[in-house]
Structure 1
Amino acid sequence: MKIDLTDTTASDINKALVKGRRANGTPAVGMVLTLVIVTDEENAYDALKAANDASREHPSRTLVVIKRHARPTRARAASQIDAEVLLGSEAGTGETVVLRTYGQVSDHADSVVLPLLLPDAPVVVWWPVDAPDVPAKDPLGALAQRRITDLYMVENPLRELSARADSYTPGDTDLAWTRLTPWRSVLAAALDQARTEVTSAAVEAEADNPSAELLARWLEARLEMPVDRVESAGPVVTAVRLGTAEGEIVIDRPHGPLATLSLPGQPQRTLALKVRSTAELIAEELRRLDADEMYAVALHGGASGTKESVQHA
């Protein structure tokens, strides 16, 4: 079901949600959180599709905020909210409201979103593109327990990564970090099996890859040693090499979804290490809403002061 509302208010949107639920016979009590997506018109479709796919695991109310300029036929200072209310098969397993704000109301989108949040449910804000400099201080970000950004969508990801380290607030995370979960899991398992001291480390990846830089910083903090950055043809992270007295521990994924794991004195193994979709990344982030301490460790690298080993990360 789709309900279009022009020049509307948050109150009218809530009434449309109730009306749509009654018509579909779908109560809201099964939804576990509110996901707020702040994006532009160009990226709204892909972001909403990813959110709908993720809602199969996390039924939620999804609010898509698209800030637009005032219409040419209206006064520059005029404010307006247009909304699309999507329920049933149009909205995954939850319900969706697409909000297009015009004029001055675009600067106060939090006042529109606040009445639409599910009561007593966590709030997650995701910026697929154009994240604020300090997500926790953004009016919408301040409503959330979890704030998701994506360094892959900025012009200079490594410079932006340093800025994120300076502005980090518990609850912040980034999809460039989420993409590393399979790599971190394989590394932890490999070191647990090898049980030997690491004497050198290198991360191989395409140039200026934010995930590779986060992985290198995380290893520096955990291993308490410098990690070499080696440029490769890509895509994304292609290999991690850890030197030990017994030989190299190597995870190598030159291309495709399969990687090889080499441990000293053991036969080479093949394992799945695919590049995951945005929907899979968002679903992972919605599984936990507490502070991502490991992301903070990766942001600050060797300066984090942690003494734990990588096996326990």
Structure 2
Amino acid sequence: MITAVQPEKLLKELEHVWAELGKGHPADALLRACSMTMLVATTDPKDEVDLKNTLADLMRAHPGRMIIVRIVDTPEPVLSAEVTAQCLLAFGGRQQLCCEMIEIRASRDRLADVYSASLGLTVADLPVLLWVKDIRLLNESSFQPMLKLARTVLVDSVPLGPSILPALNERRRAGWRVKDLAWTRCTAWRETLAQAFESTCLQGRIPEITKVEIAYAGANPSVSGLYLRSWLAARLPQATFEFVPCPARRNGNLQALRFHSTVQELELRAVDDATLEIVTNSLTTRVLAPARAEADLIEEELSILGNDSIYEATLSATIAPAPINQ
């Protein structure tokens, strides 16, 4: 354990870790891979195992240097770090794919020091992504220096709901590339809708849709539901939208999308946690859409190179003043 976060010492420790890992193995047995630096800011003292498992799942497609910043609440200032390497057997071979992991523990009053140290720990000339696992940190003044470390910020807005969206949009307008897992969870619904409109009798008759109902379970519509409304409204400017409560058939807030037109009705609805159902006047079709693990959602976002113009437009439209029943 290093009690002062000095980048040069941590990097030397990493070299020592690699040397120890390589002992007794052929020179090509360990593949030291790095395509990015991922910083993860977390405040949950109980997520250590789950978080490292998620990062391990990401390693195969997106190997990199993982820097976990674990923010702790203690009466005394805390700043310490340790280094490890994590290895997985590469697909179709005998090589092990290995990535570096640095875990920093810090109290909030030492985050400025963490920022300074992290500048020397990011891998030169490679992308840097900051995953703010506890989205509440975005509103904390002590955390603001950390946001300067990366121009790509990954969040999950669900815990705070719509109230955090203006802050995300401000970051976007200031030049950050914002990625929200609440939007990523819409992918199955968006893709299934696209297929439905291409293969049903509503093909070519989208302008005739007059009303869309978004059914949700819970106290209020979720961020994902609000995102879908904005995304659909940009494509159905003639339609009105209404959020309606309903019983839960699937884990999560979003339960169904109902499209009303002068010639046809279409509903995309949850059947269970693994299935969606497309219902028209004359046909019912089921499609597999299992709930996705956090690592799968993050991997989808990492696969998007550059700005996601569709999400950015959706985020901007979602925070625009508009009634829920429009």
Out of 218, 232, 237, the position equivalent to 2:246 is 232
1:280 to partner: Cα distance: 0.8
- Counterpart position of 2:266: 249
1:150 to partner: Cα distance: 0.9
- Counterpart position of 2:27: none
Q: Larger RCO: Structure 1 or Structure 2 (Cα < 8 Å, ≥ 6 residues apart)?
A: 1
1:70 to partner: Cα distance: 5.5
- Counterpart position of 2:41: 38
Mapping for residues 92-103 of structure 1, pairs under 5 Å: 93-102=98-107
Residues 43/228 of structure 1: CA separation in 2 closer, same or farther (3 Å cut): farther
Tell me whether 16-25 or 63-72 shows the greater mean CA deviation: 63-72
Distance 2:116 2:144 in 1: 13
1:43 to partner: Cα distance: 5.3
Distance 2:268 2:140 in 1: 35
Distance 1:120 1:165 in 2: 27
Tell me whether 85-94 or 141-150 shows the greater mean CA deviation: 85-94
Partner AA of 1:214 in structure 2: Y
Identity among equivalent positions (%) equals 22
Residues 92/104 of structure 1: CA separation in 2 closer, same or farther (3 Å cut): farther
- Counterpart position of 1:115: 120
Deviations along 1:288-307, whole A, 9 cap, x unmatched? 24112122222233788xxx
Tell me whether 33-42 or 230-239 shows the greater mean CA deviation: 230-239
Question: Secondary structure at the residue paired with 1:274?
Answer: coil
- Counterpart position of 2:86: 87
- Counterpart position of 2:148: 142
1:159 to partner: Cα distance: 2.1
Is residue 270 from structure 1 mapped to residue 273 from structure 2 by the alignment? Answer: no
Q: 1:134·1:167 contact (CA, 8 Å) conserved in 2? A: no
User: TM-score scaled by structure 2?
Assistant: 0.79
Is residue 192 from structure 1 mapped to residue 189 from structure 2 by the alignment? Answer: no
Distance 1:82 1:276 in 2: 32
Question: Secondary structure at the residue paired with 2:291?
Answer: coil
Tell me whether 236-245 or 295-304 shows the greater mean CA deviation: 295-304
- Counterpart position of 2:223: 210
Residues 37/43 of structure 1: CA separation in 2 closer, same or farther (3 Å cut): farther
- Counterpart position of 2:12: 15
Deviations along 1:57-94, whole A, 9 cap, x unmatched? 2111110001235664xxx5xx6323242333599842
Aligned residues: 291
Distance 2:181 2:188 in 1: 13
Question: Secondary structure at the residue paired with 1:121?
Answer: coil
1:104 to partner: Cα distance: 4.2
Residues 15/259 of structure 1: CA separation in 2 closer, same or farther (3 Å cut): same
The gaps in structure 1 that reach 5 residues or longer are 305-313
Q: 1:205·1:231 contact (CA, 8 Å) conserved in 2? A: yes
Deviations along 1:135-181, whole A, 9 cap, x unmatched? 9x933322223211111222xx1222244334434501211001111
Question: Secondary structure at the residue paired with 1:138?
Answer: helix
1:190 to partner: Cα distance: 1.8
Question: Secondary structure at the residue paired with 1:279?
Answer: helix
Q: 2:39·2:128 contact (CA, 8 Å) conserved in 1? A: yes
Out of 49, 73, 76, the position equivalent to 2:53 is 49
User: TM-score scaled by structure 1?
Assistant: 0.82
1:231 to partner: Cα distance: 1.7
- Considering only aligned residues, what root-mean-square deviation do their CA atoms show, in Å? 2.8
Tell me whether 174-183 or 160-169 shows the greater mean CA deviation: 160-169
Distance 1:277 1:98 in 2: 23
1:37 to partner: Cα distance: 0.3
Q: 2:221·2:253 contact (CA, 8 Å) conserved in 1? A: no
Distance 2:151 2:3 in 1: 31
User: Any runs of at least 4 consecutive aligned residues in structure 1 with deviations exceeding 4 A, and if so which?
Assistant: 69-72, 89-93
Distance 2:232 2:106 in 1: 43
